[in-house]
């Protein structure tokens, strides 16, 4: 056995007792020194590892593992709850956005469709009732137009806008007036939807919407409500 083979065997097993291993160690001082150092290291390693295990070590390890698992599950539950809450908030926000996505003009037409029967009313409503109805919406009228046959503080649209719904009979048929007190459009616009002609315009702090089969009376009625609300 030469030195290289000896050192290779020494690295594998310092306690080797093979005849050629023992013989080379006896004949080679340098390999003998390396063998002595390896045995000393082995002894130090054995002494370092020869430490008594603490009492109840197994129980402590199991407790630590159980605690860590409990925390992990708790964190997962919290994360799931936060994710669910976020999804609900997002869903509510999306529903709200969809509800608000409809223009006021569309919401007004849909509201009129649900209350078509009031178009047949022709008996005049007292001015005091009209004034009181607008007051419920926080609007003080400067004057009350003539020829109103229906008035009610109706909520309009999915967002339940604070509105006043009126009907004014004309020579061209009933004309619906809806004043939305809690939302103001940016600019006046005429429109047509579901066989109805319409006009929406900013007025005061809200929006005035006119609906009828014919727009012939729109200018006249608009002027009446401008005087009533804006003064």
104-230 CATH fold: Protein Transport Mog1p; Chain A (3.40.1000)
pLDDT of residue 99: 47
Q: In this structure, what are the phi and psi dihedrals at residue 192, rounded to the nearest 5 degrees?
A: -140, 135
Which parts of the chain have pLDDT scores under 70? 51-55, 89, 91-100, 231
Domain ranges for the chain: 3-49, 63-101, 104-230
Q: Kindly report the pTM of this predicted structure.
A: 0.58
**What are the backbone dihedrals phi and psi of residue 180, each rounded to the nearest 5 degrees, phi first?**
-95, 110
Q: What is the DSSP string of 170-222?
A: ETTEEEEEEEETT---SS-EEEEETTEEEEEEEETTEEEEEEES--TTHHHHH
93-107 pLDDT, tens digit per residue, is 555 545 457 899 999
Q: Is 50 helix (H, G, I), strand (E, B) or coil?
A: coil
Using one digit for the tens of pLDDT, what is the confidence trace for 154-175? 999 988 999 999 999 999 999 9
> CA 214 to CA 230: how far, in whole Å?
25
**Contacts (Cβ under 8 Å, ≥6 apart) of 154:** 111, 115, 163, 164, 165, 178
């Amino acid at each position: 056995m030469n030195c290289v083979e000896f050192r290779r065997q020494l690295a594998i097993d310092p306690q080797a007792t093979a005849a050629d291993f023992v013989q080379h160690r006896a004949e080679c001082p340098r390999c003998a020194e390396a063998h002595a150092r390896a045995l000393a290291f082995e002894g130090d390693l054995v002494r370092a590892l020869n430490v008594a295990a603490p009492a109840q070590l197994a129980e402590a390890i199991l407790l630590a593992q159980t605690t860590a698992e409990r925390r992990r599950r708790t964190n997962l539950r919290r994360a799931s709850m936060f994710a669910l809450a976020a999804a609900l908030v997002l869903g509510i926000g999306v529903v709200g956005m969809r509800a608000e996505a409809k223009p006021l003009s569309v919401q007004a037409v849909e509201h009129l469709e649900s209350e078509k029967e009031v178009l047949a009313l022709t008996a005049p409503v007292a001015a005091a009732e009209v004034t009181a109805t607008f007051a419920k919406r926080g609007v003080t009228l400067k004057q009350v137009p003539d020829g109103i046959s229906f008035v009610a503080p109706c909520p309009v649209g999915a967002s339940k806008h604070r509105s006043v719904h009126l009907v004014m009979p004309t020579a061209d048929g009933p004309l619906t007036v809806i004043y939305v007190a809690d939302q103001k459009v940016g600019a006046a616009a005429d429109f047509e939807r579901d066989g109805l002609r319409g006009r929406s315009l900013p007025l005061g702090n809200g929006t005035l919407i006119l609906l009828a089969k014919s727009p012939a009376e729109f200018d006249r009625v608009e002027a009446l409500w401008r005087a009533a609300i804006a003064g």
